[in-house]
């Protein structure tokens, strides 16, 4: 228990817009769920202004396109997304004055659609049976038909570049002079692991990079190559893909951004994780650490726990938490969390005479 009242000092600066607050997310020690003798930290990307790691990518896609002239003032931006990139783009486009159209399979959580629409975006749903490639192709189709700017999160160099320039540098600075044995992450576009590996391989070569993917959709684990066009865009769903519950992870193709890490040895080990395990660890993080993360964060933490169980005493592990649990209210992550009082809560209500709701 803290012996003195906590005080704060502010950030020591004034911000010109919301986009200036992207990045510099905190690294937080795990205290109640750690394996004895091993220290686990999490990088809490939900501290970004739109609550996910994809805020970094969204901002850099737009600003890189502004610098190159590929994006014209007032031009409509279009992108395929499972949600987080779309939410990040909606935030950035709202601030900078670009109309945004998002294509998204109708299998993703309803709150993601509402968040994007709340931020001013238009959301075009595609059939879930057509998977990620279907929403991707719809975005391409709309861009070509209307002359819109296609964000291309799965192929653009702006993706891994921002993680090299910000996420990796934050990790290097946070662990300066300290041990860091493992970094654990999953992949959606592949930008995080690719950007991190560029820096960690050079400046912290002793740090092992652990990559994860869904146990029932092991695209990398299958060893099968992705069919691509000459430009690197996917031309077919990967044969190892099956639908999985880890939203934001592993579309039905291997993104070109990720291919750099695959071909260049950007990770040391690939560990699959089952979706239900990820959900269970997300709930444990919430209930034992007060850390609210989504299914992808819980899945990454599940893998970090596996690594911790076999790691040498004294090892230090950093686990990436991509987003917030509030993005999953209508998914199985919250299925067992009831809105009405349970028996114990009802008994507490009845234990004193006043302020009681009538029985349901």
Low-confidence ranges of the chain (pLDDT < 50): none
Determine the Cα–Cα distance for residues 345 and 339; give it in Å rounded to an integer.
11
Task: Return the bridge partners of 271, or none.
Answer: 212
**Cα–Cα distance, 244 to 214 (Å, whole number):** 7
Q: What is the pLDDT of residues 210-246, one digit of tens each?
A: 999 999 999 999 999 999 999 888 999 999 999 999 9
pLDDT in tens, 242-301: 999 999 899 999 999 999 999 999 999 999 999 999 999 999 999 999 999 999 999 999
Predicted local confidence at residue 358, as pLDDT: 81
Beta bridge partners of 126: 105
Model pTM above 0.75 = yes
Q: Give the CA-trace dihedral at 278, 262, 64, 51, to 10 degrees.
A: 10
DSSP string, 236-249: S--TT----S-TTS
Spatial separation of the C-alpha atoms in residues 102 and 136, rounded to whole Å: 10
Cα dihedral sign for 6, 12, 13, 18? negative
Distance CA 189, CA 205 (A): 24
Question: What is the DSSP code (8-state) at residue 218?
Answer: -
Q: What is the pLDDT of residue 51?
A: 97
**Which domains, and CATH codes, for the chain?**
18-47+167-334 (3.40.50.1100), 54-150 (3.40.50.1100)
pLDDT of residue 2: 62
Active site residues: 54, 296
> Is beta strand 39-44 parallel, antiparallel or unpaired with respect to 77-80?
unpaired
Residues 6+ away with beta carbon under 8 Å from 222: 238, 239, 240
């Amino acid at each position: 228990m803290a012996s003195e009242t906590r005080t704060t000092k502010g950030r020591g600066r004034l911000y010109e817009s919301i986009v200036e607050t992207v990045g510099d997310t905190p690294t937080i020690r795990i205290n109640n769920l750690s394996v004895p003798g091993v220290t686990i930290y999490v990088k809490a990307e939900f501290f970004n202004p739109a609550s996910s790691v994809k805020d970094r990518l969204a901002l850099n896609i737009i600003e890189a396109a502004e610098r190159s002239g590929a994006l014209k003032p007032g031009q409509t931006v279009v992108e395929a997304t499972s949600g987080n990139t779309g939410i990040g783009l909606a935030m950035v486009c709202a601030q900078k004055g670009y109309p945004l159209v998002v294509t998204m399979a109708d299998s993703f959580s309803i709150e993601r659609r509402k968040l994007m629409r709340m931020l001013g975006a238009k959301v075009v749903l595609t059939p879930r049976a057509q998977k990620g490639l279907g929403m991707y192709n719809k975005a391409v189709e709309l861009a070509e038909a209307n002359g819109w700017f296609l964000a291309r999160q799965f192929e653009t160099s702006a993706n891994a570049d921002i993680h090299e320039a910000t996420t990796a540098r934050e990790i290097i600075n946070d662990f300066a002079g300290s041990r860091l044995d493992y970094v654990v992450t999953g992949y959606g576009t592949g930008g995080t692991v690719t950007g991190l590996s560029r820096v960690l391989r050079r400046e912290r070569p002793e740090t092992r990079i652990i990559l994860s993917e869904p146990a029932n959709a092991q695209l990398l684990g299958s060893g099968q190559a992705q069919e691509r066009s000459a430009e690197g865009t996917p031309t077919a769903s990967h044969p190892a893909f099956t639908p999985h519950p880890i939203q934001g992870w592993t579309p039905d193709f291997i993104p070109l951004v990720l291919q750099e890490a695959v071909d260049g040895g950007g990770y040391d080990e690939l560990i699959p994780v089952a979706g239900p395990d990820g959900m269970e660890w997300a709930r444990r993080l919430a209930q034992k650490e007060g850390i609210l993360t989504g299914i992808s964060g819980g899945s990454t933490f599940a893998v970090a726990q596996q690594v911790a169980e076999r790691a040498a005493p004294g090892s230090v592990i950093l686990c990436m938490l991509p987003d917030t649990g509030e993005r999953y209210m209508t998914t199985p992550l919250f299925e067992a969390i009831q809105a009405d009082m349970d028996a114990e809560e009802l008994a507490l209500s009845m234990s004193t005479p006043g302020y009681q709701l009538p029985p349901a």
